[in-house]
Structure 1
Amino acid sequence: MALAGVRVIELAGLAPAPFCGMILSDFGARVIRVDRTKVTMAMDAQARGKQSVALNLKSPQGVAVLKKLCLQSDIVLEPFRKGVMEKLGLGPEELLKENPRLIYARLTGYGQSGSYAKSAGHDINYLAMSGLLSMLGRSSEKPYAPLNLVADFAGGGLMCALGIVLALLERNESGQGQIIDASMVEGAAYVGSFMWKSRSLGLWNRPRGENMLDSGAPFYDTYQTSDGKHMAVGAIEPQFYDHLIKGLGLDAASLPAQMSISDWTELRRTFTQVFAQKTQAEWSRIFDGTDACVTPVLPLDEAGSHPHNRERGSFLKDAQGEVSPRPAPVLSRTPARPCLSRDPVVGEHTRSVLGEYGFDPDHIEQLLSAGVVECNEAKARL
């Protein structure tokens, strides 16, 4: 796999950092998640292929163990607010002095500098600060956040993984590691670059919810079907729009012009009435195989069974029967080979990982007895 041989220490966190770690793991990296001791259950729902070591970082000995793990690894992935790792004596400046090849990825909401650097926040706050939230929402309604996808996962976890891969690539030439300052505000804004760079094209010059791609256009929206489900319509180009009108059984000559913005409300009313006359399955049969850009809105539990997704193997099932997306993109020679076994129990691999990193058995037992580390191999076997 593309990242085979790369060792990652992931400090346990929520959402974006675990996603970043899962990406690295799916493509072959060895990802060791460092959990706290005395935690009954991990909050990491993206632990595929990872191992877990449980350390008491309130203990100087626990901090020393973590330092040794970091210094013998390629990547440190930390999701804490600015200054937390420095207080432990494990900031990037300290670790890079001893391991100049180390790549130290810092994934935070606001970044390592600026007046908000130490402030708490969540996806909706980062999205708001990026400028993008102001553009999301229906006409005459307040802005709304599209789950926590844009800042946490796209601007955070995914952009951080990109930064890590870029740093690994550069290290092949320089032999040097570096610090990655991954801000979810900046990552979200960068993902939304098209919004800034396309304003001169007239795509975003109207109020929120009244533009072509933000639900303002009736040919770029969703419509309810007779069985209470929905179809997604993205018929922007004239030739695709013609296929839409034909599939709906409408007479183009009797309709307003596609780009007559003043008539969009009337056109949406017509589309709404027509889509409500058939089921989602009936509309799918009509539009499948055409270039109308009309597709069913699939619930999560139906996405994997759609013929197209099934033929590509776009979703996979793990040993516990849980379905999730296959890693993307697909590489021709070194594709991802995601682990399909269950997620690790907190501290399940403490003993084996410490042994691999040079701790002798007696030292490991001393650490266990002192409560510096925790091993839950027994729980894992239950």
Structure 2
Amino acid sequence: MSGPLDGVRVIELAGIGPGPLAGQLLADLGADVISIDRKAEPRLPDRPKDANRRNKRSVAVNLKAEGAADIVLRFCERADILIEGYRPGVAERLGLGPDAVHAVNSALVYGRLTGWGQTGPLAARAGHDINYISITGALAAIGETGRPVPPLNLVGDYAGGSLMLVFGLMAALVRARTTGKGDVIDAAMTDGSAAIMSLIHSLRASGLWQDRREANLIDGGAPFYRCYETSDGGFMAVGAIEPQFFAELLNGLAADPSWAAKQYDQAEWPAMQEEFAKAFKTRTRDEWTGRFEATDACVSPVLDMAEAPRHPHNEARGTFRELDGYPQPAPSPRFASGNADFRRGAFFQGEDTINVLKEVGYSAEEIQRMIDAGQVGQSQ
């Protein structure tokens, strides 16, 4: 299947992290995503192991070369979306800011993805995921009692950045297709990571959340929502929040049934946690998995990235698929009309330069002149 975004063309000004993931998510669902990479790279025997490059095409354009911006603007004439992740002002200096792009295509949706946003006192500063989520309250709420723990770069870069950008792009694209007028999306990871904390802020305002880690319902403070070590050094994830699920947890652990009436008594949590920890240490991870798998106790094994693709549920759903020599997450979400598929593996930078230039009307002679002038490159 080509996917629900078949016919949507996206220009991605290549960057790192959340921008390429946003492009990958669009490409996975059928969009024609053209990555504008800074230079061509040699075609090696093995494809790059970079899932963010899959299902895309790559054109190598030296954006600092004279006249290079005009090449990208030619692409924009036929595009629906542009994604850029530069610091504020960089795209404008390259001649590819929103005004320049909308001058050639007023219906294009222009997506800008940054950590701090296009405005504000930190807008021009460097940063990474850990910095962006540190000022929104998200980082302070995650981790152990003694210190916050970075949740990889999932909260700021990807949830607050990539996913929020894609959400904004799709919303603006719907309107552009109705009105013929494009838009500019200012997707800041600070804004996005704050937005996905909405419920936690509400719980705090209602007096149901404390500003202390491991002291709350879903931050590891509750003995029925945390991870426990098993006898073989593995871990089990426990999420038995509701009373009926908690009852099944107690039964599976052969724990004191009187805990059922004290589930939400925080004064009892330390003793309850100690009993649960001792119980989990009596069996291996696989033994506990077998004991709980057929129940609604909300208990599951903690798998590493090598194990996850082999889990029976993931195998049954095809959650991971082999591509470029390793298992990687399949396109998501799924559609009743048919799901998108892997159309191609990760690109070598610049491998589609000539073909894409021909598509937008450049002749063979013009392309050769651009190659000779150092404006574009072709992967060899």
Residue equivalent to 1:216? 221
Q: 1:309 Cα deviation (Å)?
A: 1.4
Could you say which residue in structure 2 is the equivalent of 1:110?
Answer: 116
Task: Report what 1:6 is aligned to.
Answer: 8
Q: Relative to 1, partners in 2 of residues 1:316 and 1:45: Cα closer, same or farther, differing over 3 Å?
A: closer
Contact 1:9-1:73 at 8 Å conserved across structures: yes
Give the gaps of 5 or more residues in structure 1.
Answer: none
1:247-285 Cα deviation digits (max 9, x unpaired): 001231378822221221121111111101101111011
Q: Is the 8 A contact 1:256 1:263 kept in 2?
A: no
Q: Which residue of 1 aligns with 2:287?
A: 282
Of 354, 368, 372, 1:365 maps to: 368
User: 2: distance between equivalents of 1:80 and 1:242?
Assistant: 52
Secondary structure (helix, strand or coil) at the match of 1:300 reads coil
Query: Are residues 1:301 and 2:303 paired?
Result: no
Work out the number of aligned pairs and report it. 374
- Aligned: 1:327 with 2:327: no
Distance of 2:236 and 2:96 partners within structure 1:
51
Over the aligned positions, Cα root-mean-square deviation in angstroms equals 1.7
**Whole-Å Cα distance in 2 between the matches of residues 308 and 38 of structure 1?**
40
Amino acid at match of 2:302: V
Q: What residue number does 2:22 align with?
A: 20
SS at match of 1:304: helix
Aligned in 2, Cα 1:39/1:80: closer, same or farther, shift over 3 Å? farther
CA separation of 1:90 and 1:43: change in aligned 2, threshold 3 A: farther
Partner of 1:204: 209
2:126 maps to: 120
Counterpart in the other structure of 2:37: 35
| Greater relative contact order, per chain length (Cα 8 Å cut-off, separation 6+) | 2
Task: Name structure 2 gaps, 5 residues minimum.
Answer: none
**Counterpart of 1:153 in structure 2: which amino acid?**
Y
Q: Which segment is superposed worse, 328-337 or 358-367? A: 328-337
User: Is 1:138 aligned to residue 144 of structure 2?
Assistant: yes
Match of 2:234 in 1: 229
Contact 1:14 1:44 in 2 (8 A): no
Task: For 1:237 and 1:255, locate their aligned partners in 2 and report how far apart those are by CA, in whole Å.
Answer: 11
- Deviation per residue, 1:90-149 (Å, 9 max, x gap): 11022212211111000011111111111111000111122211111222x121211000
In the aligned structure 1, how far is the partner of 2:51 from the partner of 2:330?
15
Q: CA deviation at 1:202?
A: 4.1
Task: From 70, 91, 102, give the equivalent of 2:97.
Answer: 91
Pair 327,202 (structure 1): closer, same or farther in 2 beyond 3 Å? farther
**Secondary structure of 2:83's aligned partner:** strand
CA distance in 2 between counterparts of 1:26 and 1:223 reads: 36
CA contact (8 A) 2:240 2:299 kept: yes
Between 263-272 and 12-21, the greater mean CA deviation after superposition:
263-272
Runs of 4+ with deviation above 3 angstroms = 38-45, 200-203
Conserved? CA contact 1:314–1:326, under 8 Å: yes
Measure, in 2, the Cα distance between the counterparts of 1:334 and 1:116.
Answer: 44
Which residue pairs with 1:346 in the alignment? 349
Q: How much does 1:44 deviate?
A: 5.5
Q: Percent same amino acid at aligned positions?
A: 43
Flag the 1:300–1:38 CA change in 2: closer, same or farther, 3 A.
same
Q: Residue deviations 1:195-222, cap 9 Å, x none?
A: 1122245431352221111111111000
TM-score, with length taken from structure 1: 0.94
Q: Could you state the TM-score of these two structures normalised by the residue count of structure 2?
A: 0.94
Cα distance in 1 between the residues matched to 2:161 and 2:239: 28
**Structure 1 equivalent of residue 254 of structure 2:** 249
Alpha-carbon shift at residue 38 of structure 1 (Å)? 5.8
Contact 1:219 1:236 in 2 (8 A): yes
CA contact (8 A) 2:112 2:186 kept: yes
Specify whether residues 261 and 146 from structure 1 end up closer, same or farther in structure 2 by C-alpha distance, changes over 3 A only: same
Could you tell me how far apart the structure 2 residues matched to 1:275 and 1:6 are? 51
The whole-number CA distance in structure 1 between the counterparts of 2:42 and 2:14 is 14
Amino acid at match of 2:341: R
Cα deviation, 1:30-81, whole Å, max 9, x if unaligned, reads 0010111265698954111111111111111222212211232111100100
Q: Please point out which of 181, 190, 193 is paired with 1:185.
A: 190
Aligned match of 1:60: 66
In structure 2, the CA distance between the partners of 1:88 and 1:43, relative to structure 1 (3 Å rule), is farther
